């Protein structure tokens, strides 16, 4: 089943609708008595994606994944308080039917893969499968905050499922398998430890985020946040036009994706970049290719250009260097740019 079909199937009332309904009923009845409850429920509302100031690179990487989920997810590296979670949660409103399913760090294995439905077994004496987080994540975003702190055995499972797109459960008397394709989005603070290489490789793209350094932008961040917390609904309304525009961009890019042309010489260029940088395996090549195509679709182009390749390389390559225990540094943007320019030049000379 393609991702679009999955999304179409899911156009059921969304979670956020439930909250707003609840909020409305509360507002009418208890508005005076319980301001705190309202504040709390307001907090459950989602900050609109389009209203986030800055963090353009992160936004772009995430949008590319919405356009083409086969890119394989995003790993966001950076410190706390850089709007990582806000942006990721906001993604759900851009594509109808899309949810953000969170995998909490403390999740136990049976809750992740699914397990025997104990209640059903006790009441009826029958075995039944109780779906876990991986089942909910199918066709959605699986979001793991602080993914580098996840328990090893949960990581093992994620590796398995992310590779196959199928969750096979063989435990506690249950034999079950269901599709589980998701956009894996993880965040981590590199100072708290590294991610296992195999899991790192499963992420299509990585980006580094830092807080906004421009003072004017910082002020804008605070202003918007305050406005949102006071009157979330009105705030959302202000940005609804922009949100709609983004949604439309995604849809039109999705339609275009299969018709984007990819010039022959750029295939070779991608291969040379990978060889020059020295990456593990072939996933880098394939992801670079897909990302470049998606970028072209995003910019409404007919054909992939060299600039698209460069942009793709910058997102795909940093975490894919052949890594030894202590050489461990990610490539910087400039280093990647240099390699890409060099290889592009070579290919041009040859042709």
Nearer to other proteins, 38 or 321 (CB): 321
148 half-sphere exposure, CB direction, 13 A CA radius: 15
Q: Measured from the CB of residue 72, what is the shortest distance to other proteins in angstroms?
A: 11
Handedness of CA 275, 315, 167, 160 (dihedral sign): positive
CA-to-CA distance for 116 and 123, rounded, in angstroms?
A: 13
Q: Measured from the CB of residue 203, what is the shortest distance to other proteins in angstroms?
A: 11
Residues that bind other proteins (CB under 8 A): 70, 108-110, 113, 116, 118, 121-127, 148, 151-153, 156-157, 159-160, 163-173, 175, 190-194, 196-198, 201, 258, 262, 267-268, 270-272, 274-275, 279-286, 289-290, 322-328
Nearer to other proteins, 237 or 282 (CB): 282
The torsion region of residue 279 among left (phi > 0), alpha (psi -120 to 50) and beta comes to: beta
Q: Measured from the CB of residue 221, what is the shortest distance to other proteins in angstroms?
A: 29
Nearer to other proteins, 50 or 103 (CB): 103
Q: Measured from the CB of residue 180, what is the shortest distance to other proteins in angstroms?
A: 11
Nearer to other proteins, 13 or 278 (CB): 278
CA-to-CA distance for 135 and 114, rounded, in angstroms?
A: 8
The residues pairing with 279 across neighbouring beta strands, listed in sequence order, are: 321
Pair of tokens at residue 222: 């605070």
How many residues are present in the chain?
351
CA-to-CA distance for 75 and 185, rounded, in angstroms?
A: 6
Kind and range of the H or E run holding 337: helix 333-350
320 catalytically annotated: no
Pair of tokens at residue 206: 């990585």
Nearer to other proteins, 234 or 348 (CB): 348
Q: Measured from the CB of residue 35, what is the shortest distance to other proteins in angstroms?
A: 37
Contacts of 76 (CB under 8 A, 6+ apart): 58, 84, 88, 185, 186, 187, 188, 206, 207, 209
Residue identified by tokens 């394709």 is: 181
Catalytic residue among 171, 196, 283, 323: 283
CA-to-CA distance for 106 and 202, rounded, in angstroms?
A: 22
Q: Measured from the CB of residue 240, what is the shortest distance to other proteins in angstroms?
A: 34
The helix/strand/coil state of 239 is: coil
Provide the CA 215 distance to its chain's centre, in angstroms: 28
CA-to-CA distance for 215 and 188, rounded, in angstroms?
A: 25
Give, as one character, the DSSP assignment of residue 206. E
Nearer to other proteins, 41 or 67 (CB): 67
Q: Measured from the CB of residue 130, what is the shortest distance to other proteins in angstroms?
A: 11
Q: CA 300 → CA 194, 249, 297, distances in Å?
A: 37, 9, 5
The residues pairing with 209 across neighbouring beta strands, listed in sequence order, are: 78
Nearer to other proteins, 71 or 92 (CB): 71
- Which active-site residues does the annotation give? 283
């Amino acid at each position: 089943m393609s991702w679009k079909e999955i999304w179409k199937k899911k156009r059921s009332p969304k979670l956020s609708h439930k909250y707003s309904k609840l909020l409305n009923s509360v507002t009418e009845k208890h508005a005076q008595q319980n301001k705190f409850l309202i504040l709390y429920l307001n907090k459950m509302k989602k900050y609109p994606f389009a209203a986030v100031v800055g963090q353009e690179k992160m936004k772009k990487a995430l949008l590319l994944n919405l356009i083409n989920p086969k890119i394989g997810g995003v790993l966001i590296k950076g410190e706390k308080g850089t709007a990582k979670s806000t942006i990721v949660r906001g993604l759900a409103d851009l594509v109808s039917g899309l949810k953000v399913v969170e995998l909490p760090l403390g999740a136990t294995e049976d809750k992740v893969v699914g397990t025997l439905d104990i209640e059903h077994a006790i009441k009826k004496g029958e075995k039944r499968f109780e779906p876990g987080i991986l089942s909910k994540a199918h066709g959605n975003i699986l979001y793991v905050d602080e993914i580098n702190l996840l328990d090893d055995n949960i990581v093992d499972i994620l590796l398995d499922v992310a590779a196959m797109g199928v969750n096979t459960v063989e435990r506690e008397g249950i034999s079950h398998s269901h599709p589980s394709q998701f956009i894996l989005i993880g965040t981590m603070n590199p100072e708290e430890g590294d991610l296992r290489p195999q899991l790192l490789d499963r992420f299509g793209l990585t980006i580094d985020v830092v807080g906004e350094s421009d003072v004017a932008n910082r002020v804008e961040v605070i202003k918007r946040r305050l406005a949102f917390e006071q009157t979330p609904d009105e705030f959302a309304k202000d940005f609804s036009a922009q949100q709609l525009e983004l949604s439309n961009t995604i849809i039109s890019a999705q339609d275009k994706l299969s018709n984007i042309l990819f010039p022959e010489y750029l295939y070779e260029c991608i291969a040379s970049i990978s060889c020059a940088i020295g990456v593990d395996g072939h996933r880098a090549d394939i992801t670079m290719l897909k990302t470049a195509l998606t970028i072209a679709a995003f910019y409404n182009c007919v054909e992939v250009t060299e600039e698209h390749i460069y942009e793709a390389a910058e997102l795909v390559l940093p975490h894919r260097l052949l890594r030894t225990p202590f050489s461990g540094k990610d490539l910087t943007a400039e280093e990647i740019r240099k390699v890409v320019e060099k290889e592009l030049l070579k290919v041009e000379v040859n042709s």
